[in-house]
Structure 1
Amino acid sequence: MDFLPINLRLRDQPVVLVGAGVVAARKARFLLGAGAILTVIAPEQDAQFRALGEEFSLTWQQREYAPGDLAGAIMVIAATPDRGVNESVHREARSLNIPVNVVDSPDLCSFIFPAIVDRSPLIVAISSSGASPVLARSVRSRIEAMLPAATADIARFGRLHRDRIRAAGESEGERRRIWEQIIDGPIAQLILSNRWQAAEQALAELLESHSTSAVGEVYLIGAGPGDPELMTFKALRLLQRADIVLHDRLVNPDIVAMARRDADKLYVGKRRSDHSVPQDRINELLVELALEGKRVARLKGGDPFVFGRGGEEIELLAQRDIPFQVVPGITAGNAAACYAGIPLTHRDYAQSVRFVTGHTKDGELHHRWEEFLSNTETLVFYMGLVGLPIICRELIAHGRSKDTPVALIERATSAEQRLLTGTLGSIESLVESAKPQAPTLIIVGKVVLLAERLRWYGSG
């Protein structure tokens, strides 16, 4: 992070602006809007400054900048077309330990102006650290569209009732939950529709019914196969609400980082033959944490209900009457095939698809292999890297041709994704040479032939 974003109170504070052109006028409007006592030093001023002078109170010193002009200021902005003048302003400001911004010269800035979405008292600042102001403005436009103007009223409502809400919750966690019920619930909708009296009544009812002994809640969240952009909106919203996050090796660390900064993160392992926290203990943990009143996010790679043991985890929750929500995720079979350019079904190649576990038990795979012989059905094996020799051997033994196309996809949807393609007769030797690492996914069927033509992501 090149610049730390902060909010600085400028009301009634002295600020110096050197320059009075079009760009300087834009900076001046920000500063005056924040209540700064602004002194402008420039031999000439743009017409926009004259308009600002009618709207705000500012001091214009009609002359060139000179050393000593920055004494007493708490902030300085240089916005002249003369690099030499700007460098002089920068040197003096730095010698006086005054924050300085030189427009369009990141190397001379100790602070920069972000793009701003103003819903005062709610302020959203977006910065590219000076690398791409146009990108920052583009992001600002998207956020502007997401936040209606009346969002400011929600912030004002919160400021008005902040002391009441603080008194209603004994802990920071309890107070946060009250705030979330206000912001994410019907109270916010009442405020947005300008029904303040109804919002006041709803808040009174919420605070009256608030219980500090409430049981928490568990969110069983499908985190997808790896790419954070494949998370759903609901998954992200619940993840950021959680007090504690349980995650395993199959969940991208970038997704775990999307949780609240103050949320506890607990790693529960789940590597083949090395479960740092056994499944039964994970199930119990979910119950224990929820009974402590915590909101628990259990992040699962892919989809919780597709070879994710999600059913086992919520079964105990249901028995104990603990509230829970299950958020579907994009299962690895769909995502890996898509990123590798392999359609799981295709009118000319496959009219059905079957998801199968490739996880071995006692060194064997116990399947009805005779059901896997259709040339018009795609087979997708999860967790099949170790069991690949068994898969190839049994399919061939039960009648599938050695020439049947096979794809192995390593670390699907990530920047390290790798695709290996061969046949039932050749894929073992290819894997032995390439030495892929888990997680992998195996696809068997004629649709694999389309990979080279349709693949748009990954390598290998």
Structure 2
Amino acid sequence: MARLNTFPVSVAVKGRRIVIVGGDDEALAKARLAAKTSAEIVVFAEAFEADFSGLDVTLVSRAVEAGDFVNAALAFVADHGPAGARALKLARGAGVPVNEVDVPENCDFFTPAIVDRAPLSIAISSEGDAPVLARLVRAKIEAMFSPRLGEIARLAGAMREKVSALLSDGVARRRYYEALVTAPGIETALAAGQGEAKADALLAQHAGRISDEGVVWLIGAGPGAEDLLTLRAQRLLQEADVIVHDQLVPAAVVEMGRRDADRISVGKAKGHHSFSQAQINTLIVRLASEGKKVARLKSGDPMVFGRAGEEIAALRKAGLAYSIVPGVTSALAAAADTATPVTLRKVSSGFVFATAHGADNTDLAHWASLAQSGLTLGLYMGKSIARQIAGDLIGQGVSRAVPVGIVVNAGRSEKALYAGTIGGLAAGEIDFADGPAIIFIGETVAEGDWAQAETIAVEKFKVA
């Protein structure tokens, strides 16, 4: 995973100075940005070509001197001549972080694209590599958030002393602020001058609670791509005190949770279980019983081969609250990856999920009957026994010509595709890519887009 070359921070500039060197449009752009802060903005140049009128800045018509950097928090150099080189040297000599405009190699910091909802700010930085992209991202974020977001932030700040006095527990305070900033009608109340009254009423409710009850959210993380996570899942991950996650859930999805949330891996991989299911049940019951909000993060959809039923039974027995957040299950991600219509008019009227691992003769006979009736089969956990399953289904009467498609790592950038017939699968050796696989069997497979798939040949000969 790529690492940042800069550490994102917000610099305190209240009561300090921001120095800008240069008098052209580049200097003007930085002055406009700096003027959004409460710092003293001083611009130095021998001559001013740009129009700085209307900005709360001080213009000084001379070269910058060493003493001008006293009490400076930041410096921008927009002069790329000898005067700019001298300014860089003076700023660094004074220990002031400096940014030479459009010269990344001479920058101690980079200027992000900023979404301004003072006192709330959102900065988008590309470390100088793609400022245009940063501005486009900023435009999208601007469209997402209300202009009153800053007022909500100021209201939360104004409540700090009251909240500290009434709610001694850090978790209780955090939950109050979460409720405040997401409260229905909070913007309307602020517009009517009733924001503080609404905040006080909400605080009284939270102070009256004897204790917060715990809850477990069984959340589907999808097949692995972060952008396939639902909005509800993202929101609850930000609210969770503890994230209990499976081994197949990517780190990038787990990282969507709060930074201060506890993270517990209960990884279960084929042939290796760090936690038994009984231990996982006990763990989530204990955490919720302690009043914690628990995100039980499962790969795919929690209700599809996720053993959620056992966890729900344990939570019900303990009298604990829970809810289910659906996710994109791997078979549907695989269908999307290959544009395979698992149900298709006059071809297949249904789609069956099943797990191939541990299948017995009864299961195979049932699957064969379903396949012969025209339904599409989606088999999970069958990669290591795919050839055997295919042979057994043929033995149960399934035609060798029935199309087969296999997707390994569905929904991810590293997915691998294999396509052919069930006869080819039964007869050929396949070197599958690493990762979980979905095996589709049925006539609808032929309607999908398998152009990038490796062919499942009837025979594969190996030369010694």
In structure 1, how many angstroms separate the alpha carbons of the residues matched to 2:150 and 2:454? 47
Q: If the length of structure 1 is used for normalisation, what is the TM-score? A: 0.90
Please give the per-residue CA displacement for 1:389-445, whole angstroms capped at 9, x wherever unaligned: 342123211211112111121111112210111221222555x44133341110001
Q: If the length of structure 2 is used for normalisation, what is the TM-score? A: 0.90
Q: 1:44: how far off? A: 2.0
In structure 2, how many angstroms separate the alpha carbons of the residues matched to 1:224 and 1:193? 40
Q: 1:208: how far off? A: 3.4
Choose from 106, 111, 114 the match for 1:113: 111
For residue 439 of structure 2, what is the aligned residue in structure 1? Answer: 442
Contact 1:341–1:454 at 8 Å: present in 2 too?
Answer: no
Choose from 112, 123, 134 the match for 1:125: 123
CA 1:365–1:385 in structure 2 vs 1: closer, same or farther (change >3 Å)? farther
Report the secondary structure of 1:166's partner residue. Answer: helix
CA 1:154–1:371 in structure 2 vs 1: closer, same or farther (change >3 Å)? same
Q: 1:93: how far off? A: 2.2
Q: 1:202: how far off? A: 2.2
For residue 354 of structure 2, what is the aligned residue in structure 1? Answer: 356
Report the secondary structure of 1:373's partner residue. Answer: helix
Contact 2:224–2:249 at 8 Å: present in 1 too?
Answer: yes
User: Bigger shift: 445-454 or 296-305?
Assistant: 445-454
Choose from 3, 10, 15 the match for 2:6: 3
For residue 202 of structure 1, what is the aligned residue in structure 2? Answer: 201
In structure 1, how many angstroms separate the alpha carbons of the residues matched to 2:185 and 2:179? 8
In structure 2, how many angstroms separate the alpha carbons of the residues matched to 1:387 and 1:437? 14
User: Bigger shift: 226-235 or 351-360?
Assistant: 351-360
Report the secondary structure of 1:33's partner residue. Answer: coil
| 1:283 aligned onto 2:284 | no
| 1:403 aligned onto 2:406 | no
Report the secondary structure of 1:426's partner residue. Answer: helix
Q: 1:2: how far off? A: 1.9
CA 1:67–1:240 in structure 2 vs 1: closer, same or farther (change >3 Å)? closer
Report the secondary structure of 2:222's partner residue. Answer: coil
For residue 35 of structure 1, what is the aligned residue in structure 2? Answer: 38
Q: 1:450: how far off? A: 3.4
Contact 1:239–1:297 at 8 Å: present in 2 too?
Answer: yes
* Counterparts of residues 242-391 of structure 1 (less than 5 Å): 242-347=240-345, 349-360=347-358, 368-374=366-372, 376-391=374-389
Gaps of 5+ in 1: none
CA 1:379–1:292 in structure 2 vs 1: closer, same or farther (change >3 Å)? same
In the alignment, residue 12 of structure 2 is paired with which amino acid? Answer: R
In structure 2, how many angstroms separate the alpha carbons of the residues matched to 1:122 and 1:397? 66
In the alignment, residue 444 of structure 2 is paired with which amino acid? Answer: V
Q: 1:65: how far off? A: 5.0
Aligned residues: 451
In the alignment, residue 208 of structure 2 is paired with which amino acid? Answer: S
In structure 2, how many angstroms separate the alpha carbons of the residues matched to 1:115 and 1:41? 24
In the alignment, residue 41 of structure 2 is paired with which amino acid? Answer: L
Gaps of 5+ in 2: 456-464
Report the secondary structure of 1:425's partner residue. Answer: helix
Contact 1:116–1:123 at 8 Å: present in 2 too?
Answer: yes
CA 1:428–1:262 in structure 2 vs 1: closer, same or farther (change >3 Å)? farther
Contact 1:41–1:65 at 8 Å: present in 2 too?
Answer: yes
Report the secondary structure of 2:154's partner residue. Answer: helix
In the alignment, residue 159 of structure 1 is paired with which amino acid? Answer: G
CA 1:373–1:449 in structure 2 vs 1: closer, same or farther (change >3 Å)? closer
Contact 1:365–1:390 at 8 Å: present in 2 too?
Answer: no
In the alignment, residue 17 of structure 1 is paired with which amino acid? Answer: I
CA 1:414–1:363 in structure 2 vs 1: closer, same or farther (change >3 Å)? farther
In structure 1, how many angstroms separate the alpha carbons of the residues matched to 2:28 and 2:322? 54
In structure 1, how many angstroms separate the alpha carbons of the residues matched to 2:432 and 2:203? 63
RMSD, aligned CA: 2.5
